[in-house]
Amino acid sequence: MGERELAESVVNLKGIGEKTGKLFNKCGVYTCRDLIYYFPRTYDKFEPPVRACDLKEGEVCSVSLTIIGNIMRRKVRNLSIISFEAGDQTGKVKMTYFNAPYLINSLKSGTTHIFRGVVRKKGNFFTIDQPKMYKAEEYATLCGKLMPRYPLVKSLSNNTVTKAVQKAFNSAGKFEEFVPEDIIKRLGLMSFFDAIYNIHFPKDDATLEQARRRLAYNEFFLFVLKLRLLKKLQEENRNTFPIIEVAEAKRFLEKLPYRLTNAQLNAYNDIISDISGPYVMNRLIQGDVGSGKTVVAFLALLTAAANGYQGAIMAPTEVLAAQHFEGFKELIDKYGLTSIKPVLLTGALSARDKREAQRMIKEGEVNCIVGTNALIQEKVEYKNLALVVTDEQHRFGVRQRKALAGKGENVHVLAMSATPIPRTLAIILYGDLHISVIDELPGGRIPIKNCVVGTDYRNTAYKFICDQVKAGHQAYVICPMVEEGELDGVENVTDYTDKLKSALPPEISVATLHGKMKPAMKDEIMEAFARKDIDVLVSTTVIEVGINVPNATVMMIENAERFGLSQLHQLRGRVGRGDAQSYCIFLNTSKSDDAKKRLDIMNRSNDGFKIAEEDLRQRGPGELFGIRQSGELNFRIGDIYHDSDLLKSASMDADRILSEDPNLSDTQYSVLRGVLSTKSANSVDFNCL
Ligand code: ADP
Ligand code: MG
């Protein structure tokens, strides 16, 4: 496909009008290029239909059945429900549809259809909720194929997206390769164009895996090259804010009721040696959840303040920012620290308070700015900002760094991450940062008790949650999805909240939290949970980076097999923060041995670094998009664990190329240079550069 066609708006594709165009825009798709880079989130594989007696609980099955008896219609509150039974010679299944009154015309007793959906068991009865219905001929054409399932928004159907992508490919030409030919040959990679095509419409699993690997390599290769080029720039950045260790910090440490762990002390010393040294600091502190990174950040901010500079700490959410601010104030009051003057700057402040905070920052009345990313970056003028700490973000992207450049020349940057990553990968992924690892937990913590269980344990778990709530504690339940229909067989927070409300006594308050909510709404719910107004929070992984509610003692994770181990570990880190014994329940809905083996690791270890190593060792092939890795290290396609061989290869290739041709000036790299310099190119879509 030529560049010109790729740049065309999607509404120029036949069959896509203004209205559909707007829906595509909601998904971030504007041009044909966006469209072909709008990758499926998973694939439907249509197996031949089975008999009723061969249905497997918890799995997506297709079954050819005849409708028996009456079609029942009822209304419960706002929900209209259609249900009926269907069967063959070997058994019966109960089907239920919610809010789909239009189906009533195609459902007739005695007619035969192929039903497809997740099989559940209620008592002795198999049930399928919201099955997709097909005519036999229609199903036959789908059988054996992998059909793409795209991320959708309301009113945009999977079919519409599929057709639009096909049309975009119809005017296809070739993509220019930017990965050098010898690498493609050596690794036996699929061509760029074929890879993009096959990620949408793979003919089988093997082709899909090849396509995926090619695109993963692309991502890693560009990522590593950018990192290397960036590092070169940084090494030339001289330290214009020399900051030295202060007595106030030492006194503070002596007065603290606990001693810093050796790992914390080492991190603190690394920071001091950076900020007092010849170059600007670019350091990452990697420490497991609860390892005590905050106090280290506080020491850095205190030191900057006592040296006469301003420092800022950026948190990903308002709640976290407020939490830091309160915590800092407490330390300052309790230990009589005089040089550090904090201020909170978040979107939740009134316009007046915001203006006042901005004035104090500009005039230098405050020197420790605690806030959310956007606020700190956009609207604020600093008097003399010298240090920026980012909390719970894996890396501090170039774009953010640039946004800050106008605030203070070459500020020192300290990033703090709670995702333990095996050293071999960390060196590649954080190539531009120096790393301090806090690999020691403060003593005296009660280890979390874990269990990995199947769906039959669900009711016992609810009972357990109920008991914990009655004892005054709180619980989290995590589901992978936001809404119904995104993926078969996977729990979503919207429906789950209703289910849980009816399973628990009415006096227990249950609320929902997910990433599609407005930020203000999210913060409100998190705050309500922190205030104990909510007992049980049903959430997607948005709570992963976040909140510290020591009173929460239960973490229950539905479809635990769908998460990476490191991510499960992060989620688990939300409990076990207080004095009470905490529990983590991993609900495994898969029947596969691999899933069980993987989850068992969580059962055996509470050590994030060990778990990450295991993740690297165990993450076998064939999991494709099934498992999501942790937070901000998300590449679109590549998986740092599953594809660690490609990541290592990309790293070596990038090093070799740059050592031969540091500026990529040879003509063979002209396409590559172009790709590296475009900001928008979706093909370079890793969120951090
Ligand atoms: P994280 O690394 O996950 O950000 P925090 O910084 O929030 O962890 O620390 C978790 C808790 O441990 C806090 O309540 C903090 O006061 C406490 N803490 C930090 N360092 C120590 C230590 N060396 N000994 C005992 N408790 C500590
Ligand atoms: Mg923290």
DSSP assignment of 431-491, as one string?
TTSEEEEE--PPS-PPPPEEEEE-GGGHHHHHHHHHHHHHTT-EEEEE-SBSSTTSSTT--
Q: How many CA atoms lie less than 13 Å away from 106 in the CB half-sphere?
A: 13
Intra-chain end-to-end CA distance of the chain, in Å = 26
Judge whether 339 and 309 are in contact, CB under 8 Å: no
How many Å apart are CA 371 and CA 382, to the nearest integer?
14
421: tokens are: 């990553």
Domains and CATH numbers, the chain: 1-43+145-173 (1.10.150), 47-143 (2.40.50.140), 247-438 (3.40.50.300), 449-605 (3.40.50.300)
Which residue, among 635, 631, 665, 660, has the nearest Cα to 541 in the 3D structure?
631
Residue environment code for 626-649, b if the CB has 16+ CB neighbours within 10 A, otherwise e:
ebebbbbbbbbbbbbbbbbebbbb
Going from the Cα of 290 to the center of ligand 2, the distance in angstroms, rounded, reads 7
pLDDT confidence of residue 485: 61
Averaged over 3-28, what is the pLDDT? 86
Q: Is 193 helix (H, G, I), strand (E, B) or coil?
A: helix
List the beta bridge partners of residue 125: 122
pLDDT confidence of residue 628: 44
Residues contacting 188, CB < 8 A, separation 6+? none
If one residue of 286, 294, 441 were mutated to test the ligand 1 pocket, choosing by the most ligand atoms within 8 A of its CB, it would be: 294
Q: Where are the alpha helices (DSSP H) in 559-607?
A: 565-572, 593-604
Tokens 């209703």 belong to: 498
Atom 9 of ligand 1, nearest CA residue: 292
Atom 12 of ligand 1, nearest CA residue: 292
If one residue of 295, 331, 438 were mutated to test the ligand 1 pocket, choosing by the most ligand atoms within 8 A of its CB, it would be: 295
Given a cut of 80, is residue 234 above it in pLDDT? no
Given a cut of 80, is residue 47 above it in pLDDT? yes
Q: Which residue has the higher pLDDT, 565 or 479?
A: 479
Question: Which is it for strands 79-88 and 60-76: parallel, antiparallel or unpaired?
Answer: antiparallel
Going from the Cα of 286 to the center of ligand 2, the distance in angstroms, rounded, reads 11
Task: Report the alpha-carbon angle 566-572-578, nearest 5.
Answer: 140
How many Å apart are CA 336 and CA 130, to the nearest integer?
62
Break the chain down into helix, strand, coil percent, rounded to 5: 45, 20, 35
Q: Where are the beta strands (DSSP E) in 523-579?
A: 536-539, 552-557
- Band of pLDDT at residue 393, cut at 50, 70 and 90: low
Going from the Cα of 221 to the center of ligand 1, the distance in angstroms, rounded, reads 37
Q: Is 573 helix (H, G, I), strand (E, B) or coil?
A: coil
Q: Does the Cβ of 293 fall within 6 Å of ligand 1?
A: yes
Atom 15 of ligand 1, nearest CA residue: 292
- Band of pLDDT at residue 634, cut at 50, 70 and 90: low
Given a cut of 90, is residue 294 above it in pLDDT? yes
Atom 10 of ligand 1, nearest CA residue: 290
Q: Does the Cβ of 433 fall within 6 Å of ligand 1?
A: no
- pTM: predicted TM-score of the whole model, two decimal places: 0.72
Which long-range contacts does 125-128 make (Cβ < 8 Å, 24+ apart)?
A: 125/92, 125/93, 125/94, 126/52, 126/55, 126/57, 126/91, 126/92, 126/93, 126/94, 127/93, 127/94, 127/95, 127/96, 128/61, 128/93, 128/94, 128/95, 128/96
Q: Does the Cβ of 258 fall within 6 Å of ligand 1?
A: yes
Q: Which residue has the higher pLDDT, 466 or 120?
A: 466
**Ligand 1 atom nearest to CA at 287:** 2
Averaged over 245-272, what is the pLDDT? 96
Atom 23 of ligand 1, nearest CA residue: 260
Q: Does the Cβ of 294 fall within 6 Å of ligand 1?
A: yes
Given a cut of 60, is residue 300 above it in pLDDT? yes
Judge whether 554 and 465 are in contact, CB under 8 Å: yes
Going from the Cα of 353 to the center of ligand 1, the distance in angstroms, rounded, reads 30
pLDDT confidence of residue 408: 56
pLDDT confidence of residue 682: 29
Q: Does the Cβ of 442 fall within 6 Å of ligand 1?
A: yes
Which residue, among 352, 332, 348, has the nearest Cα to 340 in the 3D structure?
332
Put residue 485 in one of left, alpha, beta given phi > 0 → left and psi -120 to 50 → alpha.
left
Q: How many CA atoms lie less than 13 Å away from 142 in the CB half-sphere?
A: 19
468: tokens are: 């914990």
Going from the Cα of 689 to the center of ligand 2, the distance in angstroms, rounded, reads 23
Sheet holding 385-391, edge to edge: 342-345, 368-372, 310-315, 385-391, 412-417, 282-287, 434-438
pLDDT confidence of residue 683: 30
Judge whether 144 and 36 are in contact, CB under 8 Å: no
Q: Where are the alpha helices (DSSP H) in 605-668?
A: 608-618, 644-660
Averaged over 368-375, what is the pLDDT? 82
568: tokens are: 């499960």
Going from the Cα of 296 to the center of ligand 1, the distance in angstroms, rounded, reads 9
Q: Does the Cβ of 261 fall within 6 Å of ligand 1?
A: yes
Tokens 């993926």 belong to: 487
- Band of pLDDT at residue 443, cut at 50, 70 and 90: confident
Nearest ligand to the CA of 293 is 1
Q: Does the Cβ of 292 fall within 6 Å of ligand 1?
A: yes
Atom 1 of ligand 1, nearest CA residue: 290
Nearest ligand to the CA of 317 is 2
Q: Which residue has the higher pLDDT, 288 or 332?
A: 332
How many Å apart are CA 366 and CA 62, to the nearest integer?
64
368: tokens are: 């420790």
**Ligand 1 atom nearest to CA at 297:** 6
Q: Is 414 helix (H, G, I), strand (E, B) or coil?
A: strand
Q: What is the pLDDT of residues 505-537, one digit of tens each?
A: 999 999 999 988 887 788 889 889 989 999 999
pLDDT confidence of residue 613: 78
pLDDT confidence of residue 112: 94
Using CA atoms of 453, 454, 456, 462 in order, give the dihedral in degrees to the nearest 10: 50
If residue 498 lies in a helix (H) or strand (E), which one and from where to where?
helix 493-503
Averaged over 218-238, what is the pLDDT? 82
pLDDT confidence of residue 625: 44
pLDDT confidence of residue 479: 94
334: tokens are: 């309790």
pLDDT confidence of residue 583: 96
List the beta bridge partners of residue 474: 552
Question: Which is it for strands 125-129 and 112-122: parallel, antiparallel or unpaired?
Answer: antiparallel
pLDDT confidence of residue 609: 81
Q: Does the Cβ of 260 fall within 6 Å of ligand 1?
A: yes
- Band of pLDDT at residue 357, cut at 50, 70 and 90: very high
Q: φ, ψ for residue 435 (rounded to 5)?
A: -120, 130
The amino acid sitting at 267 is A
- Band of pLDDT at residue 487, cut at 50, 70 and 90: low
Given a cut of 60, is residue 626 above it in pLDDT? no
Sheet holding 474-478, edge to edge: 449-453, 583-587, 552-557, 474-478, 536-539, 510-513
- Band of pLDDT at residue 619, cut at 50, 70 and 90: low
Which long-range contacts does 501-507 make (Cβ < 8 Å, 24+ apart)?
A: 503/459, 503/462, 504/462, 504/465, 504/466, 504/469, 504/536, 505/466
- Band of pLDDT at residue 392, cut at 50, 70 and 90: confident
592: tokens are: 């596969």
Q: Which residue has the higher pLDDT, 300 or 490?
A: 300
Atom 20 of ligand 1, nearest CA residue: 292
Nearest ligand to the CA of 291 is 1
- Band of pLDDT at residue 465, cut at 50, 70 and 90: very high
DSSP string, 255-311: HSSSPPPHHHHHHHHHHHHHHTSSB--EEEEEE-TTS-HHHHHHHHHHHHHHTT-EE
pLDDT confidence of residue 342: 97
Ranges 35-44, 252-261, 323-332, 494-503: which has the least confidence:
35-44
Judge whether 64 and 112 are in contact, CB under 8 Å: yes
Residue environment code for 577-597, b if the CB has 16+ CB neighbours within 10 A, otherwise e:
beebebbbbbbbbbeeeebee
- Band of pLDDT at residue 684, cut at 50, 70 and 90: very low
Q: Does the Cβ of 334 fall within 6 Å of ligand 1?
A: no
**Ligand 1 atom nearest to CA at 264:** 23
CA 587 to chain centre: 19
Atom 19 of ligand 1, nearest CA residue: 292
- Band of pLDDT at residue 323, cut at 50, 70 and 90: confident
Averaged over 138-145, what is the pLDDT? 86
2: tokens are: 């030529």
- Band of pLDDT at residue 488, cut at 50, 70 and 90: low
Put residue 391 in one of left, alpha, beta given phi > 0 → left and psi -120 to 50 → alpha.
beta
Given a cut of 80, is residue 113 above it in pLDDT? yes
Which residue, among 573, 565, 567, has the nearest Cα to 615 in the 3D structure?
565
Q: Where are the alpha helices (DSSP H) in 531-592?
A: 565-572
Given a cut of 50, is residue 685 above it in pLDDT? no
Which residue, among 488, 539, 546, 536, has the nearest Cα to 515 in the 3D structure?
539
Work out the mean pLDDT of the chain and round it to a whole number. Answer: 86
94: tokens are: 């109960």
Averaged over 102-108, what is the pLDDT? 87
